[in-house]
């Protein structure tokens, strides 16, 4: 049986919402394996002098817990998420 865990992250980009989403996935993927999907809960843009200067997203990122992972070296499975 596959177990999926969901974490919430916040990411930003000076260029676009899409790049902010990619930044979230890229950063999470540095420490978490098996990322399956990203769900954008909210978006925002920071404005300065009447111009958008950055874009932000609040995302839920889901990933499968690897059933064959030896968690004894971590102490608990919570280290995975």
pLDDT tens track for 51-64 = 999 999 999 999 99
The predicted-structure confidence for 23-41, as pLDDT tens digits, reads as follows: 999 999 999 999 999 999 9
pTM for this one? Answer: 0.75
Closest CA to 59 of 28, 14, 34: 28
Q: What is the predicted pLDDT for the residue at 44? A: 97
Domain boundaries of the chain, sorted by first residue: 3-68
What's the rounded Cα separation, in Å, for the pair 74 and 13? 33
In words, the CATH class of domain 3-68 is: alpha beta
Looking at every residue in the chain, the average pLDDT score rounds to: 86
| pLDDT score for 13 | 97
């Amino acid at each position: 049986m596959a177990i999926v865990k969901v974490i919430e992250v916040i990411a930003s980009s000076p260029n676009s919402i899409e790049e902010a989403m990619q930044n979230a996935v890229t950063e999470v993927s540095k420490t978490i394996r098996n990322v399956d999907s990203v769900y954008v809960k909210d978006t925002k843009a920071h404005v300065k002098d009447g111009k958008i200067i950055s874009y932000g997203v609040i995302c839920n990122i889901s990933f499968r817990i690897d059933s064959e992972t030896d968690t004894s070296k971590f102490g608990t499975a919570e280290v995975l998420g």
